[in-house]
Chains A and B, each alone.
Chain A
């Protein structure tokens, strides 16, 4: 039994190490770490604290965390989309995946090794450096409200992860990465534009159905609404028909991750059963 486990583990480690080597060539990881560290301080803001110390600690922690997740989140998206589209796309194009299929390991573990390197390892410096940077800047804001900080990361990351899942599916279907990468970046920006349009519609017509549906894809919308009691931006004033509770925020976040999981599951199913090379 132990022999079988050892046999399964080693090819996985080999694949994982190979993917890491491919995804994070020197000095790519170092450049991203540098940018995250700079971003943790340059983009930090205390907009929810402008009302003074009476602002709730949760709101201040949310405001600080969300202020950071602009540029650093975008470079994280670029990194994971590059890793998923080019990392897997190149392996498919060059026939390297066929070599992987000859390894004594199930197909799903091959994809897991690739995704763990592309997304999982990319997440560690992103969340770690930004959280540590915020702690250095404002320990009494981050320390007691670490739950809100992590929830804000979770709500903001579900949309990039969904896009990564879509890029994975497109890469597998087309068996090439470049087009999937372009599609991923376009989808990411299109979602941002749709969020703006839906928020305007919600503010002017008081119809929040679109906003509620979109919050399932991007729960940062509902979290922002919960903490600020208004939609995103100066034009998007509060709509009276929807005041989400904290439980709603948690439910929508869980819902968004279920959608992300379904998209990745489709990718796994296609890779395991239908991918013919």
Chain B
């Protein structure tokens, strides 16, 4: 076999091996022994809350967040701690004590200044469902804002599970690397097949 074809084929077989390893990793189930919580609360009109979910997350953790409400609400997942959020609002809204009321105006001001910290958001929703996996070690805080004029009864469920790697990302890589590797390895397979076919003929000649 041509030397370059042999090299390409070996790259292909190696890529297939890597793909199979990634596939195996993606099939490992995440640990269900992580922390979880189920909280029901009422959010007054024109206010927000950031105390329902506040955790330090690593890329080997995954948080499943579910929020349901009887009134349209805005839900944000931000990569800062709730204490940072409250401190920022306190330091930027004066010392009149209004920040205690958790007014949505202050939240909008904060989010306007920290747009890069918003990992995910959904506005005017009655049902929020999101699975969050961070790409670094970071705080993650769930903020639920009620901009409407009536109180919202909100039910929040969250669960943090441990994982070896983000399954979706790893599976996507495996889905690409295995077929590409197999295609690159085709010349090697053909060569192997041809050698197998030639072998009995050579054996008969030798015997003869």
Interface residues of A (CB under 8 A from B): 17, 24, 26-27, 29-31, 33-38, 41-42, 44-46, 49, 52-53, 55, 60, 125, 129, 136-141
Contact = CB atoms under 8 A, between A and B. Distances in A.
A26 B10 contact: yes
B170 A29 contact: no
B13 A52 contact: no
Given A125-B14, A129-B18, A49 B137 contact: yes
Interface of B: 3, 10, 13-14, 16-18, 20-22, 24-25, 56, 58-60, 134-139, 164-166, 169-170, 173
A29 B173 CA distance: 20
B10 A137 contact: no
B135 A52 contact: no
B17 A33 contact: yes
Contacts of A29: 10, 13-14
Given A45-B60, A137-B59, 12 more contacts: A26-B10, A26-B13, A30-B17, A31-B17, A34-B21, A37-B22, A37-B25, A38-B21, A38-B25, A49-B58, A53-B56, A137-B166
Identify the interface centre among B3, B25, B137, B139: most chain A CB within 10 Å of its CB. B137
B26 to A, nearest CB: 10
14 contacts: A17-B3, A30-B13, A34-B20, A37-B17, A41-B165, A42-B25, A45-B60, A52-B139, A136-B170, A136-B173, A137-B165, A137-B166, A141-B136, A141-B137
Contacts of A129: 18
A46 B60 CA distance: 9
Contact of B137 (A24, A36, A41, A52): A52
Given A34-B18, A46-B60, A53 B138 contact: yes
